[in-house]
């Protein structure tokens, strides 16, 4: 049984699905790519039981065969070639595959594919389609805010709320929260689901920023994303997402507008002098001046910087974890950002001042830290 594939195209396909494979799989079969040859098409699959990713290539082929080939050696071998055709010859009797290149021949064994786990079949699934760049943008804006606490698994993913009014994506770890909304894309059926970070990171890495359409199918246990020649199926996180609307302060009379790049650079510099455990920085806002300061008494380190800003509100001081501020500013793209504040012990809200598309909105929330007087 034989097929010929371009080394470049094959490498791209292997790298697309290969991110699913874990380094510590409990089942040895999951250390393999599932390879299926049929009717001039090569289908490659990788799985970790929770997530299954598949991609296809049109190739020159003879016959049909299914095999589970060791992932690491196959990927490393294909990666080592410059662009050229590679010929794969599979011998079912010996369970071996021979790779022929312009340089020589290489042989490795494969295992019977009957043990390979089957992807979940989605029946009676609700579906919605959207441009790839919309989903990519939603993931870029939210994934960084999802938590890592195994005791609160619902916070370790992104909450998708699909309604006839639009799409809402939310991520939080209880210290920071991001809500990204698109009212320009609507779902025919209302669905609420929590998708784990790992498959979403795979999506973010492979989707791209184009206008290609992503079709999403949703059941109570699983979600499927289909785009181009790629399909990703993942298991949902079971549980009820926290009432995120309840933690967003509604009355915020103090409004600060400042250059995003300048603020980001200042916070990064000043935070170098902050306590390495709390990462606490202090915002002191008086008139049209923002003073950012940090102090680590244990090492007699301290720093402060003054920035000009536009401020409408009463003078105030508030403390934040500098890492959260940096993450949020890094994931916004507008020239200026707006921060809405109410009191030193209540969450601050961060918005881009401009640069959003019609029907697009984003809110970032960061909890304050108690200031050391």
Residues 31 and 48 sit within 8 Å (Cβ to Cβ): no
Beta bridge partners, 46, equal 53
pLDDT of residue 122: 85
Three-class DSSP category at 369 = strand
| Residue 266 to residue 283: CA distance in whole angstroms | 11
DSSP state of 153: G
Task: Enumerate the H helices of the chain as residue ranges.
Answer: 7-18, 71-79, 132-142, 197-207, 260-271, 322-330
In this structure, the strands spanning 2-6 and 85-91 are antiparallel
| Residue 231 to residue 40: CA distance in whole angstroms | 19
Q: What contacts 273, CB < 8 A, 6 or more positions away?
A: 294, 295, 296, 301, 302, 303
Question: Is the domain of 149 the same as that of 46?
Answer: no
In this structure, the strands spanning 85-91 and 96-100 are antiparallel
Domain closes at, from 187, 213, 240:
240
| Residue 57 to residue 89: CA distance in whole angstroms | 17
**371 domain-assigned:** no
Q: pLDDT tens track of the chain, all 373 residues? A: 889 999 999 999 999 999 999 988 889 999 999 999 998 899 999 999 999 999 999 998 877 899 999 999 999 999 999 999 999 999 999 999 999 999 999 999 999 999 999 988 888 888 999 999 999 999 999 999 999 988 899 999 999 999 999 999 999 999 999 999 999 999 988 999 999 999 999 999 999 777 889 999 999 999 999 999 999 999 999 999 999 999 999 999 999 999 999 999 999 999 999 999 999 999 999 999 999 999 999 899 999 999 999 999 999 999 999 999 999 999 999 999 999 999 999 999 999 998 898 999 999 999 999 886 5
- The token pair that represents 260 in the structure block: 């995003």
Residues 191 and 122 sit within 8 Å (Cβ to Cβ): no
Question: Is the domain of 215 the same as that of 232?
Answer: yes
Question: Is the domain of 223 the same as that of 173?
Answer: yes
**120 domain-assigned:** no
Question: Helix crossing, 132-142 with 197-207: angle to 10°?
Answer: 130
Residues present in the chain in total: 373
Residues 314 and 349 sit within 8 Å (Cβ to Cβ): no
**In what helix (H) or strand (E) does residue 136 lie, and over which residues does it extend?**
helix 132-142
Residue 239: closest CA among 192, 202, 181: 192
Residue 143: closest CA among 217, 222, 207, 48: 207
Domain closes at, from 56, 81, 115:
115
Residues 158 and 216 sit within 8 Å (Cβ to Cβ): no
Q: What are phi and psi of 114, to 5 degrees?
A: -65, -25
Three-class DSSP category at 204 = helix
- Taking the CB of residue 105, how many other CB atoms lie within 10 A of it? 10
Question: Is the domain of 46 the same as that of 77?
Answer: yes
pLDDT of residue 373: 59
**335 domain-assigned:** yes
pLDDT of residue 63: 79
Beta bridge partners, 63, equal none
For 134-183, write each residue's pLDDT tens digit.
999 999 999 999 999 888 999 999 999 999 999 999 999 999 999 999 99
Three-class DSSP category at 33 = strand
| Residue 142 to residue 355: CA distance in whole angstroms | 17
pTM of the predicted protein model: 0.93
Question: Is the domain of 256 the same as that of 214?
Answer: no
Question: Is the domain of 75 the same as that of 159?
Answer: no
Domain closes at, from 240, 271, 292:
240
| Residue 150 to residue 144: CA distance in whole angstroms | 16
Question: Is the domain of 179 the same as that of 255?
Answer: no
Domain with residue 277: its CATH number is 3.10.150.10
Range of the domain at 351: 248-366
- Give the chain's domain count: 3
């Amino acid at each position: 049984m034989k097929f010929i594939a371009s080394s470049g195209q094959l490498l791209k396909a292997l790298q697309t699905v290969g991110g699913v494979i874990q380094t510590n799989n409990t089942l040895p079969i999951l250390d393999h790519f599932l390879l299926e040859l049929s009717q001039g098409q090569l289908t490659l699959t990788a799985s970790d039981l929770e997530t299954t990713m598949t991609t296809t290539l049109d190739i020159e082929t003879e016959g049909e065969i299914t095999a589970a080939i060791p992932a690491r050696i196959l990927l490393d071998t294909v990666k080592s070639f410059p662009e050229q055709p590679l010929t794969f010859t599979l011998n079912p009797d010996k369970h071996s595959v021979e790779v022929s290149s312009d340089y020589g021949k290489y042989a490795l064994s494969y295992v019977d594919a009957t043990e390979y786990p089957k992807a979940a079949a989605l029946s009676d699934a609700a579906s919605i389609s959207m441009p790839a760049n919309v989903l990519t943008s939603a993931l870029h804006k939210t994934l960084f805010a999802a938590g890592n606490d195994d005791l609160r698994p619902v916070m370790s993913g992104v909450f998708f709320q699909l309604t006839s009014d639009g799409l809402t994506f939310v991520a939080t770890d209880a210290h920071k929260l991001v809500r990204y909304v698109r009212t320009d894309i609507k779902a025919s059926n209302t669905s609420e689901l929590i998708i784990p970070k790992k498959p979403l990171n795979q999506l973010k890495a492979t989707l791209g920023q184009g206008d290609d359409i992503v079709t999403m199918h949703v059941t109570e246990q699983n979600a499927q994303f289909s785009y181009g020649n790629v399909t990703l199926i993942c298991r949902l996180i079971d549980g009820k997402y926290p009432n995120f609307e309840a933690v967003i302060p509604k009355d915020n009379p103090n409004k600060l507008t400042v250059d995003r790049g300048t603020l980001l650079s200042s916070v990064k510099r000043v935070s170098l002098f902050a306590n390495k455990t709390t990462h606490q920085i202090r915002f002191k806002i008086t008139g049209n001046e923002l003073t950012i300061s940090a102090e680590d008494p244990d090492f007699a380190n301290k720093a402060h910087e003054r920035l000009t800003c536009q401020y409408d509100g009463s003078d105030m001081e508030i403390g934040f974890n500098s890492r959260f501020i940096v993450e949020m500013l890094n994931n916004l793209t507008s020239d200026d950002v707006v921060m809405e504040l109410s009191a030193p012990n209540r969450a601050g809200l961060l918005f881009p001042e401009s640069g959003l598309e019609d029907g697009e909105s984003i809110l970032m929330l960061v909890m304050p830290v108690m200031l050391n007087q």
